[in-house]
Amino acid sequence: MRSGVAAERGSGDRLGIDPRGWHDRRVPGPNDDAQRLRDLALLRRVRDRIDREYAQPLDVEALARGVNLSAGHLSREFKRAYGESVYSYLMTRRIERAMALLRRGDLTVTEVCFEVGCSSLGTFSTRFTELVGVPPSVYRNEPDGVFEAVPSVLAKRVARPVRNREATPARRR
């Protein structure tokens, strides 16, 4: 199912009815490009909303409703555009925030889990361990030791919440 905008446009649009049947794709034209850019802008709003509201009990249905897309269409297009699913992106944001909170050291793992919008400690710990390389309890006690333990691909992600780390002047290797 396409977005509401597409459906509306299609109803009065001769391109909306394709006499050649479902298996004959029509040649993409400028209208398709414009539609694609509008869809991408909606995906951007969803992604920004996750960045803003990840600590709320968000789910894919609610996110899709917010931009008048079907959940299926949103899931497919989001993954195509950003390379990961809506749910995965949401969880990654939660884990990133959790890392920052755990580094502060004044909250327990359970408190951090709820603080970042996860309702299940089990799911939180599993996903945290997958992304960071160590369980949240270990990370909380020794956040800096983790950098040597994670693969380099993840190290960037691990370090990401600390933006000013990138700007350390005169850093030599």
Which positions lie near another protein, rule CB under 8 A? 33, 36-38, 40-41, 43-45, 47-48, 51-52, 81-82, 100, 103-104, 161-165
At 131, list the tokens: 């992304």
Q: What's the min distance (Å) between Cβ of 161 and another protein?
A: 6
Nearer CB in complex with another protein: 45/123: 45
Task: Give the span between the Cα atoms of 34 and 41, in whole angstroms.
Answer: 11
Token pair 């990654």 in the structure block, residue: 92
Q: What's the min distance (Å) between Cβ of 103 and another protein?
A: 7
Nearer CB in complex with another protein: 100/107: 100
Q: How many Cβ atoms are within 10 Å of 164's Cβ, its own excluded?
A: 6
At 145, list the tokens: 């030791």
Task: Give the span between the Cα atoms of 112 and 8, in whole angstroms.
Answer: 44
Q: What's the min distance (Å) between Cβ of 143 and another protein?
A: 12
Nearer CB in complex with another protein: 43/86: 43
